[in-house]
Chain A
Amino acid sequence: MSDSPVRRHGAAFLPPALVFVIAVTLAEVLIRVLQVPQYLLPPPSAILQTLRREGSELWGAAMETGWAALVGFLMSAAGGVLAAIVLSSAAWVQRAFYPYAVFFQTVPVIAIAPLLVVWLGYGPPTVVASAFIVSVFPVVANTLAGLLSTDPALRDLFRLYGATWPATLLKLRLPFALPAVLTGLRIAAGLAVIGAIVGEFIAGGGLGGVIDVSLTQQRVDKVFAGVLLASVLGLTLFLAINLISRLVLRRWHASEQV
C-alpha cells in the first residue's frame, strides 16, 4: 500500500504545494493589511489578473524566450559534451584549454551582452548566444569530471581486448559519464533561461523585453507576471531533463532508483 504510485506522488507533491498555498495567501493578506502600494509590490491576485488580462502578449513573449533558451541550451549540451570529450583526450589538452572553458563561467554576460548586439544585432541570435554562454560551462565541467572518472579496471579491460578509441568512448566512457552529464544539463537548463532573459534586456523581445519595458512604465504587476513565467520556463526545462534522466538511468544508476 505504502508504495502505490498515487501515494508516492502525493507524498512528493503535497509538501511543496502546501508551502505554495500558504506563502501566496500570506503575501496576499500581508500586502493588503499593510496597504503596500501597487507600484512597489502588487498582491498575488493582481499578478494573476495581469496574467489573465494580458495573457496573449505574455504568452507570446514566453514562447519567444523559451525557444531562444531551448536553442541556447541545446547548443550548450552539444558543444559542452563535445568540448569535454576533446579536453579529456589528453592531459596536456586539458591543461592548455581548460582555463578558457572556465572563462565562460566567470564572464559577466550582462557586461558582454551589448557586445553581442554589436556582433549579432538586435534579435534572437544575440539572445541565443547569451543563453549559450551562461549555460555551457556546467555541461563542460560535469561531463569532463564524468569522463575522467571511468573505472580504471574497465579501461584496462577494454585495452586488453583491443578496443578502438571510438568504441571505448561510446561503450565505456560516455555511458559511465552519463549521470554527470545529466547533472550538468540540469544546471544548464535553468541558466539558459536566465541567459536568454539577460540577452533580451539588451536585445529586446521575449520576457526580458516585457520585463524591461514594464519596469519603465512602473507596471510592477507585469514585471512579476513576466518573472513568474520565466521561472515556469526554467522549471519546465528542468523537469524535462529529469524525465529524460529517469528514463535513461532507471535501470542501472542508484540516483534514479527509489
Chain B
Amino acid sequence: MHAPTAAGTRVVVRDVRRVYSNGVVALDGVNLEVAPGEFVALLGPSGCGKSTLLRLVAGLDGPQGGTVKVGEERQRGATLDYRTAGGTGVAFVFQDAHLLPWRTVLKNAALPLELSGVERSRRLEAARAALEQVGLSDALGRYPNQLSGGMRMRVSLARALVTDPRLLLLDEPFAALDEITRHRLDEQLLDIWRRRGMTVLFVTHSISEAVFLAQRAVVLSRRPGRVVLDHRIDLPVERTGALRMSTEFEREAQALYETLRREEPL
C-alpha cells in the first residue's frame, strides 16, 4: 500500500532565505525535506512565498542564503543549469496553462523534448502517450483556443509529464477551474503519481485539495515565510471521490484549518 519511490528524486531545502529585489524578505529560514516519491502539498496564507519556494526548488531563482538540493545536484545561491542537469528531470506546471497558441495540442506537449533535442518521431510518440494519460487522445490536432480551460490545463500537465520527470512541481495548477473539473484533474494527477512514483510538490490554497492529494501537508507562515506545520496526512494511498465526505477527511482538514487561520492576518 505504498507508492513506488524509485522514480522520484529527493529534495532538501536548508535554511533558505530569499529576498526580492525590492527588499521584501519572502522566505527566511525555510527547512524542508521531501523523500523520493513523496507527494507533498504546500499551503500558506496568500503572499507567504509558496510560489517563491517552488521556483527555488525548480532552479528558476537562486536563494540569498541556504541551500536547495534536488537529487544529487547541489546548488548554492545560483540558478541550476538544466542543460547539464538534464537527468534531474524537473517539470513545472503553472497556475494557468501557458500553452503556445500557435501550436497544436500534440506539438505543445512535445515542446520540452523538442527543446532538449529529441528526434521528431520519438518526441511526438512520447507526447501522444502523455496526452493519452491525461485523456486527450482525441484532441491532438486542436489549437489551445479551441479547448476548454480544463482541457488546456490537461495539455499543460501532459507537457510536464512528457519528459518523465522525477520531480513534478505544481503551482496552484487547477485553481482557476470549476470544482467538478478540478476534482477530476486531482484524481487524474493522483492516478499518474501512483503509477509513476515521481516526487510531487503541490502548491495550493485549498485545504481540501491538499488533504485529498498529499501524503504530507506543509504550512508556511505569513511573510517572511517559514514552515509552521509539517503534517502527515493519515489517509490511505488509494483515494476516491467518496473520501471527501468521510470523517477522517474532515479531521485532517480541520487540523490544517486551525493552523492556517492563525497565520491569515485579520
Q: Which of A151, A156, A251 contacts B92 (CB 8 A)?
A: A156
| B102 adjacent to A154 (CB under 8 Å) | no
- Residues 145-175 of A, flagged 1 when their CB comes within 8 A of B and 0 if not, give 0000001011011111111000100011001
Q: How large is the interface on A (under 10, 10 to 19, 20 to 34, 35 or more residues)?
A: 20 to 34
- Residues 151-163 of B, flagged 1 when their CB comes within 8 A of A and 0 if not, give 0000000000001
Smallest CB-CB separation from B58: which chain A residue? A160
| A162 adjacent to B82 (CB under 8 Å) | yes
Q: A160-B91, A161-B115, A162-B81 are in contact. List 18 more A-B contacts (CB 8 A).
A: A153-B94, A154-B98, A156-B92, A157-B94, A157-B111, A157-B112, A158-B115, A159-B60, A160-B58, A162-B83, A162-B86, A162-B116, A171-B100, A171-B115, A251-B102, A252-B145, A253-B101, A253-B102
Closest approach, in angstroms, between the C-beta of B183 and any C-beta of chain A? 25
* A-facing residues in B85-139 (Cβ within 8 Å): 86, 90-92, 94, 96, 98, 100-102, 111-112, 114-116
Task: Please give, as numbers and ranges, the residues of chain A lying within 8 Å of B115 by CB-CB distance.
Answer: 158, 161-163, 167, 171
Query: Residues on B close to A: CB < 8 A?
Result: 55, 58-60, 81-83, 86, 90-92, 94, 96, 98, 100-102, 111-112, 114-116, 143-145, 163
Known A153-B94, A161-B115, A252-B143: A175·B102 in contact at CB below 8 Å: yes
| B143 adjacent to A251 (CB under 8 Å) | yes
Q: How far is the CA of A179 from the CA of B214 in the complex (A)?
A: 42
Task: Please give, as numbers and ranges, the residues of chain B lying within 8 Å of A167 by CB-CB distance.
Answer: 115
| A160 adjacent to B60 (CB under 8 Å) | yes
Q: Which of B59, B98, B116, B163 contacts A151 (CB 8 A)?
A: B98
Q: How far is the CA of A254 from the CA of B112 in the complex (A)?
A: 26
Smallest CB-CB separation from B159: which chain A residue? A157
Task: Please give, as numbers and ranges, the residues of chain B lying within 8 Å of A257 by CB-CB distance.
Answer: 145
Smallest CB-CB separation from A168: which chain B residue? B115
Task: Please give, as numbers and ranges, the residues of chain A lying within 8 Å of B59 by CB-CB distance.
Answer: 160
Smallest CB-CB separation from B102: which chain A residue? A252
Closest approach, in angstroms, between the C-beta of B50 and any C-beta of chain A? 16
A-B contact pairs, 21 of them (CB 8 A): A153-B94, A154-B98, A156-B92, A157-B94, A157-B112, A158-B115, A160-B59, A160-B92, A161-B111, A161-B116, A161-B163, A162-B81, A162-B82, A162-B116, A171-B114, A175-B100, A175-B102, A251-B143, A252-B143, A252-B144, A252-B145
